Chains A and B, each alone.
Chain A
Amino acid sequence: MELLSNFQKREIIAEEILTNKELIVDYDRRRNSNREALSKLKKELSSEKKVWVNLGDLFVKMPKQNIETMIRKDQETLDSEITDIREAMKEKVVELEKLEGGDGSKAKAFQLKAMTKT
């Protein structure tokens, strides 16, 4: 029974890690399309004052300034979301390593603060 519940826990954590990986890919996709939009706004649509924006199901014509601010805010949110998910992933990997019988030290090393280039 203990073996089964250990197995169950490992599968749950592995599932969560994989979902997080997919989430990061999705967020990165959105980040990239935001970035492309921003550069288009700067280069090709520099003359216009109001621009068409596709928000999910709707098309809205909005002043360029507002759109830029919106997209930039979205980028920041996405960046911080991705960082949070990455931290959560690292903790889950440490848990997974402990469940698999290791002592967690190998995965924990990735939670060190990084050395910055001096």
Chain B
Amino acid sequence: MASTSTDTTGLRDITKMERIGAHSHIHGLGLDDNLEARETGQGMVGQLKARRAAGVMLKMIQDGNKNAGRAILMAGAPGTGKTAIAMGMAQSLGADVPFTMLAASEIFSLEMSKTEALTQAFRRSIGVRIKEESEIIEGEVVEIQIDRSTTGLGQKSGKLTLKTTEMETMYDLGAKMIDALNKEKVMAGDVITIDKASGRISKLGRSFTRARDYDAMGSDTKFVQCPDGELQKRKEVVHTVSLHEMDVINSRSQGFLALFSGDTGEIKTEVREQINQKVGEWREEGKAEIVPGVLFIDEVHVLDIECFSFLNRALEDPLAPVVIMASNRGISKIRGTNYKSPHGLPVDLLDRLLIISTTAYTEPEIKQILTIRCEEEDVQMTEDAKDILTRIGMETSLRYAIHLITASSFVAKKRKAAAVDVADIKRVYSLFLDEKRSVQMLKEYQGQYMYNEIDMADREPAIGNSMQMSV
């Protein structure tokens, strides 16, 4: 019996295997107690000013009531750590603060209007904490004694002896309780829980001390410890639900199924207003607590002017989360209009934001980041290979260098080497082009590509000097 339980835990560990993502090496912001950023910490490297600013924002978020409707914009060239800092903030806040990460293009869908998608995203980032409590009697059954009258017509009566590690007592049973015990097939040695309010009995398992009673037992018998402490306990459970979940559950019958299936559809404003009112009442009565969270919108320049007007209004709601946006555009056109504006956002929205700018990484920082990524992806590299990869990262882009790590590890494996060396890096560099070389090739061989019409005047510049192809 014991061996089967260890096998199932082993299975569970395998299925929980995590995929290594672009930011899976980040576990926090790497700040010390004075909110000063350490050069390297918790997976983050460099970018000290931006990290310190993020740390201040974190304090504001954790302080609760002072931050409704705050918005921050993280602006910087591509590959300067904007999403990384957002991930760092998410990890530092912990699991009980709702953190929703969105790419702005997720707003556009045929099923839902843009404003509905944005409202759902906003309400997904606000949590409500509630507490459920129940009085239960939990103990190990010592003996059950049921007396039935000989005629079979009289009332059944019985006694149940329950014990914990510290005390033991006897309960008189009524007919309904005897029926419930019979239905659950409770025997001596079982550990049971009786809910005082509903009278429901649940079996938690068999006690370890009775494991050797029988030579053969069913394969699914669970063994638990004899409960300790008092017999009549008060069980309290704290739940955190988001406002969006409450909206969906109340929007239609069997609403909670929609939470799992995902097709929530448009939720009426009346439902939302009712929920707001209910939550307000609960707050007054002390039954619930609002946990404001963070909504992170990446690539916010993809949103159009209608979304921006909606955002202006939504940020002023008293029940609004902290919104962090990231943009890598310089002065570019606002989608939906013909006007150019900094970062691709209208000036009235920019007015409501605090802007954190990220700068390009320096060479030692790039080297450090590449070292961390090598560890994360489990790749050994020689010092020379690391240096040359750092040079490549400086000249092309950080992301390109990171992608080369895994590719070069495969090339190294093919020649049966343990660590990646300069030759492997050179090989992969020649196999996979970075963006600049690709543009170069396009220019040289333009005649040979289909539908080729490079028109130099139309491209939108991003922050930074290089001309980027806008996606």
Question: Which residues of chain A have a CB within 8 Å of any CB of chain B?
Answer: 21, 24-25, 27-29, 31-33, 35-36, 39, 43, 86, 103, 106, 108-110, 112-115, 117
Known: A29-B169, A106-B96. 13 other contacts (CB 8 A): A21-B229, A24-B229, A25-B167, A25-B229, A32-B167, A36-B170, A103-B62, A109-B129, A109-B238, A110-B131, A110-B238, A112-B129, A112-B288
Question: In the complex, A36 Cα to B286 Cα: how many Å?
Answer: 37
- CB-CB contacts below 8 Å: B46-97 with A: 62, 96
In chain A, what residue has the closest Cβ to B130? A115
On whether the beta carbons of B238 and A39 are closer than 8 Å, the reply is no
A-B contact count (CB 8 A): 60
* A35 proximity list for chain B (CB < 8 A): 169
Within 8 A of A (CB), among B226-283: 229-232, 234, 236, 238
Which residues of the other chain, A, contact B229 by a CB distance below 8 angstroms? 21, 24-25
Bound CA–CA A16/B431 (angstroms): 68
Q: Would you give the shortest CB distance from B126 to chain A, in whole angstroms? A: 15
Roughly how many angstroms separate A32 CA and B139 CA in the complex, as a whole number? Answer: 13
Chain A: which residue is nearest B165 at the CB level?
A: A25
**Which of A25, A33, A36, A86 has most B Cβ within 10 Å?**
A25
Contact B289 A109 (CB under 8 A): yes
Question: Could you name 23 residue pairs across A and B whose Cβ atoms are closer than 8 Å?
Answer: A21-B229, A24-B230, A25-B229, A25-B230, A28-B230, A29-B167, A29-B169, A32-B167, A43-B172, A109-B129, A109-B131, A110-B131, A110-B236, A112-B129, A112-B131, A112-B238, A112-B288, A113-B131, A113-B285, A114-B131, A114-B132, A114-B133, A117-B197
Any A CB within 8 A of the CB of B436: no
Chain B, residue nearest A30 (CB): B167
Decide yes or no whether B166 CB sits under 8 A from chain A.
yes
The residues of A that contact B132 with a CB separation of less than 8 Å are 114-115
Specify which of A86, A108, A112, A113 is in contact with B234 (CB 8 Å cutoff): A86
Q: Give residues in B with beta carbon < 8 Å to A.
A: 62, 96, 129-133, 166-167, 169-170, 172, 197, 229-232, 234, 236, 238, 285-289
**CA of A28 to CA of B234 in the docked complex: distance in angstroms?**
12
Q: Is A31 touching B287 in the complex (CB atoms < 8 A)?
A: no
Residues of A close to B232: CB separation below 8 A: 28, 31-32
- How far is the CB of A31 from the nearest CB of chain B, in Å? 7
Shortest Cβ-Cβ A-B pairs, 5 listed: A28-B230, A32-B169, A114-B133, A112-B131, A109-B238
Contact among B96, B130, B169, B236 for A36, CB-based, below 8 A = B169
Q: How far is the CB of B63 from chain A (nearest CB, A)?
A: 9
CB distance from B261 to the nearest CB of A (A): 26
Assess the B167–A28 pair: CB atoms within 8 A: yes
Q: Which residue of A lies closest to B94 (CB)?
A: A106
Residues of A within 8 A of B289 (CB): 108-109, 112
| Chain B residues within 8 Å of A108, by CB | 289
B167 contact set on A, CB distance < 8 A: 25, 28-29, 32
In the complex, what residues of B have CB within 8 A of residue A28's CB? 167, 230-232
Report Cα–Cα, A86/B133, bound state, in Å. Answer: 13
Give the residue name and chain of the B residue nearest to A32 (CB). Answer: B169
Contact A112 B230, beta carbon cutoff 8 Å: no
Chain A contacts of B62 at CB under 8 A?
A: 103
CA distance A115 to B59 in the complex (A): 30
Complex interface: chain B residues within 8 A of A32 (CB)? 167, 169, 231-232
Which residues of B sit under 8 angstroms from A110, Cβ to Cβ?
Answer: 131, 236, 238
Complex alpha-carbon distance, A86 and B229, angstroms: 14
List, in ascending order, chain B residues with CB within 8 A of A31's CB. Answer: 232
Bound-state CA distance A27–B62 (Å) is 39
Q: Considering the chains assembled together, what is the distance between the CA atoms of A115 and B130 in angstroms?
A: 7
Residues of A within 8 A of B169 (CB): 29, 32-33, 35-36
Nearest residue in B to A24 (C-beta to C-beta)? B230
CB distance from A108 to the nearest CB of B (A): 8
By a CB distance below 8 angstroms, the chain B residues around A117 are 197
Closest to A43 in B: B172
User: Within the assembled complex, what's the spacing in Å between the Cα atoms of A21 and B229?
Assistant: 8
Is B287 within 8 A of A114, CB to CB? yes
Q: For residue B170, which residue of chain A has the nearest CB?
A: A36
Contacts of B96 in A (CB 8 A): 106
Shortest Cβ distance from residue A45 to the other chain B in the assembled complex, whole angstroms: 14
CA of A106 to CA of B130 in the docked complex: distance in angstroms? 12
What is the bound-complex CA distance between A49 and B229, given in angstroms? 37
Question: In the complex, A18 Cα to B229 Cα: how many Å?
Answer: 11
Beta-carbon nearest neighbor of B169 in chain A = A32
Q: In the bound complex, what is the Cα–Cα distance between A33 and B197 (angstroms)?
A: 21
Q: Which chain A positions have C-beta within 8 A of B129?
A: 109, 112
Do the beta carbons of B231 and A112 come within 8 Å of each other?
A: no
